Structure 1
Amino acid sequence: MSKRKVYLHIGAPKTGTTYVQDRLALNARGLTGHGVHFPNKRLFADPTLFHFRAALDLLGQDWGGPSGHADGSWATMLKQVRRRSGTVIISHEILAPAPADKIARVMNDLSDSEIHVVYSARDMVRQLPAAWQESVKQGRRWTFERFLAKAEHGSPWFMKAFDLPAVLEAWGRSLPPERLHVVTVPQGRTDSNLLWKRFCTAFGVDPTWAPLDSERSNAGLGVAETELLRRLNRQLDRTTRSTASHDELIQTMLDRSELGRRRSRKVQLPPAHYAWAQGEAERWIAWAERVGVDVVGDLADLRSGEPPADLPEDPNEVRAKAITKAAVSALTVMTREAASRPDPSREIGARLKARAEQMRQR
C-alpha cells in the first residue's frame, strides 16, 4: 500500500485561505470518494473550526473561543489522519510562523506519512493593507502608518507569517524542496477559479472532484470602516477586546452591515512603502528560485510594480462624514442584535418564578 500523503496548508493569512478551507469542507464527502480527506472531528461538525482548534492546540494557544475550547484537538486530528490512507489535507494559516519546537513535533507526529507543505503567497501591495485591516478586526488599535513602520522591521505577527523564506526554511528543514509547494495568488481580475485550481495542483487534487463553490471570503474593509473599528478598539479595554463574545459581535456586525461590504475607498499602500515592498518580493523570488521549491503559479505575481501615478501621498485619508455613515450602519446592526438576544436576568427570573409556582402546587 502506498504511503499516506499529508499536505499541511500553513497559510499565509490573507491569501484566500478562508475560501479554500470552506471549499474543501463543502466538498469533503465527494473528495473522500477519490481518496482525499479533509478531516473532521465528527459528522455534521464544522471541519474548518476543527482545523483551527487543532492548530491552536498544537501551538499551545487559547483564543477565538471559550477557555479550553481547543484542548486535545491536535491529538484528535492525529487520530483522524491515522485512520485514513491516500491524501489528507490539514489547513490553517496560524501555522505559518510556528516555532521550531512545534514544527518538530508535527514532523514527528506525522512521521509515518509523506509530508508536504503548501504555502500561499501574495504581493505585499495587496497583503499589507489586508493584514492591517485584519489586525484591527481582531482588536488592534494601531494606525496603518504605525503598522507599516513595525512591518518593515518584521515585528507584527502577520509579518512573521508573510516572510516566505523564513517560513519555508523553518517548515522545510527536514523536507526535500519538491515537497515545499508555493502557491502564488494571481494578480488582476482573472478567472475566479484560478487560485482554487492552483491549490488543487499543489494538493494533487482534480478540481472537478470539488464542484461545490464557496461563498465565504474574508472580505476587506474600506478606509472608513477600518478607521471606525480602530476607534472603537481604542474605547475598549484589552480584556473586552480579547473575549470570544467580542469577536462574535464584531463578526456579526461585519456580516450584517455595510461594513463588511466595503462602501468606502479601499485601503491602499502609500507610495512611500512601494520600494520596500518590491525589495521583499525580490528577496522571496530569489530564495524560491535558489532553493528549487515547487511553484504553482508565477513568481512574478509576487512583484508589486510601481505605484500608480495618481496615487496620493496619503491614499487612506478619510473624511468624518464617511466614518459617521459607517458608524450608523454598525450601530443599527448592534442594536438589532442586542434586541434579539434574551435578557439573562429575565430568563433567570422567569425560571425562579416557574419553580416557585411548582412548589406551591405540591
Structure 2
Amino acid sequence: MARRVHLHVGAPKTGSTYVQNVLWKNRDALKKAGILLPGSVAAHDQAMTDLRSVPWRDPASTWTWDRLAAEAAAWPGDVVITNEGLGGATAEQAERAVRSLAPAEVHVIVAGRDLWRTFPSVWQQGVRARNVGRLDDFLGAVEQGKNDAFWDHTTNRMLMRWGDLVPADRRHLITVPPAGTPHDVLWQRFARVIGIPEGVCVIAAPPANPSLGAAEIEVLRRVNAALGDRYPHRTPYQKVVQRHLVDAVLKRAPNRVRFGVGAGRAGWVLDLADRQIKELDGYPCRVEGDLSELRPATVDRHPSPDELDDGQILQAAIESIVGLLGQADALHQQAAAPRTFARLRSRAARGLRRDR
C-alpha cells in the first residue's frame, strides 16, 4: 500500500514539462529512494484522458485511471502522478481520483504563473492543439467573462477544486519564479514539496520548447482553419501537423517577432493578478515560493499576432513551405536508405558468389 501519493495536476504552462523531464529521467534513482512514478509518461497521459472521459482520447490507449491507481497502490513507499491535463477534471472526476488512491495520504500539487506570461502561452498552446481563434478574441472573451473554460484551467480554480478534497496541509501551491531566475529553482520547489532528498536527481537544463513567433503562430492558426475536418484533435493532429509542421518547421523558423497581451490590457491584467493573489492568500494551503511572484514583474510591449500585416504573414508562410520541402526530402532519404543498403548488400552477396 502506498504511503503518500503526490498528484501534480497543473496548471498548464507552469514549467510542467521541465519538472516531468527531471522526474522521468531520474526514475530509477527515485525508485531506489522509495519514490515511484508508476507506468510511463504515456500511461499518465492516457490515465488522465480516461479519468476525464475526453472525446479526443486515443482509441489505442491501454492505460486507464484505475490501472494507474492500482500500480500506485501496490508500491509501499511514496508515489508521484503528474499530468497537467488532470487539472481540467470536473469536481466529480477529481473526487473519484482522490478516492481511488485511498487509504494513501494524498497530496495535491498545483503550480501558478503570472497571468501576463500565462495568457499568450495558453492561447498559443491552444492554437498548437488545433484551435483557430485569434488572440484578441480569446482575450476579449476572458475580459468579458465569456471564457469560463480558461478560468477552469487556471491555478486558483484547480487548486480549490482538487484541494478541497484533501486536508489543508496536503494542498501545495508552487509559484513559478520570474523570467531570468535559474531554471533549477522551480525544480527545487517541487522537490521540497514531494520530499525528494537533495542529490538524488541529476538536474539538466530544461529541453528547448521554443515559443513560436507572432508570424509563425498566425500561419499555424490559419492552417488550422483551412484544414476543416482533416486531422482532428488530438492524435491525428499530433502525428501530422504537430510533427511535420510545428516541430520540424515552425519551431526552427526565425520566429523574429515576439508577441504578447499588448500594452492596452496591462491595467486589466495587473488588476486580475492582484485579485488572484488575494484569493489565494485566503485559501488554506502550503505555498512554496511567494504569492507576489504571481504579479507580473515586467509588462512588455510585444504586439499581438493580429497586428501583423499580410506581407509578414506571407513571408512566414513562404519560409514554412521551404521548411516543409526540406522535411519531405529528409523523410524521403530516410525511407530510401534501407532500400539502398539492401541493394548494396545484394550486390555484394552476388559478387561473393561469383568469386567462388
- 1:343-362 aligned within 5 A: none
Give the TM-score normalised by the residue count of structure 2: 0.85
Q: Is the 8 A contact 1:56 1:70 kept in 2?
A: no
Q: CA deviation at 1:322?
A: 3.5
Q: Give ranges in structure 2 of 5+ residues lacking alignment.
A: 336-356
Q: CA deviation at 1:74?
A: 1.2
Which residue in the other structure is 1:235 paired with? 226
Matched, 1:13 2:3: no
The runs of at least 4 consecutive aligned structure 1 residues that moved more than 6 Å come to none
Which residue in the other structure is 1:53 paired with? 46
* Pair 88,312 (structure 1): closer, same or farther in 2 beyond 3 Å: closer
**SS of the counterpart of 1:291?**
coil
Matched, 1:297 2:289: yes
Matched, 1:146 2:145: no
Which residue in the other structure is 2:67 paired with? 76
Which residue in the other structure is 1:335 paired with? 325
Letter of the 2:103 counterpart: D
Letter of the 1:255 counterpart: D
Which residue in the other structure is 2:343 paired with? none
Matched, 1:159 2:159: no
Q: CA deviation at 1:291?
A: 2.2
Matched, 1:277 2:276: no
* Pair 296,261 (structure 1): closer, same or farther in 2 beyond 3 Å: farther
Letter of the 1:147 counterpart: F
- 1:1-362 aligned within 5 A: 4-40=3-39, 47-63=40-56, 65=58, 68-70=59-61, 72-152=63-143, 153=145, 155=147, 157-162=149-154, 164-213=155-204, 215-242=206-233, 244-252=235-243, 253-260=245-252, 263-304=255-296, 307-308=299-300, 311=301, 317-338=307-328, 340=331
Task: For residues 118-165 of structure 1, give each alpha carbon's deviation from its aligned partner in whole angstroms, at most 9, with x where no partner exists.
Answer: 001100100000011111111111111001012232626343111x33
Q: Is the 8 A contact 2:133 2:221 kept in 1?
A: yes
Give the TM-score normalised by the residue count of structure 1: 0.83
CA–CA distance in structure 2, aligned partners of residues 293 and 197 of structure 1: 19
Q: Is the 8 A contact 1:116 1:180 kept in 2?
A: yes
Percentage of matched positions with identical amino acids: 28
Q: Is the 8 A contact 1:183 1:198 kept in 2?
A: yes
Aligned residues: 332
Which residue in the other structure is 1:353 paired with? none
Q: CA deviation at 1:217?
A: 4.9
* Pair 107,243 (structure 1): closer, same or farther in 2 beyond 3 Å: closer
CA–CA distance in structure 1, aligned partners of residues 183 and 236 of structure 2: 34
**SS of the counterpart of 2:287?**
strand
Q: Is the 8 A contact 1:225 1:264 kept in 2?
A: no
Q: Is the 8 A contact 2:281 2:291 kept in 1?
A: no
Letter of the 2:46 counterpart: R
Q: Is the 8 A contact 1:141 1:234 kept in 2?
A: yes
Q: Is the 8 A contact 2:258 2:302 kept in 1?
A: no
CA–CA distance in structure 2, aligned partners of residues 251 and 258 of structure 1: 10
Q: Give ranges in structure 1 of 5+ residues lacking alignment.
A: 41-46, 344-362
CA–CA distance in structure 1, aligned partners of residues 205 and 299 of structure 2: 32
Q: CA deviation at 1:6?
A: 0.5
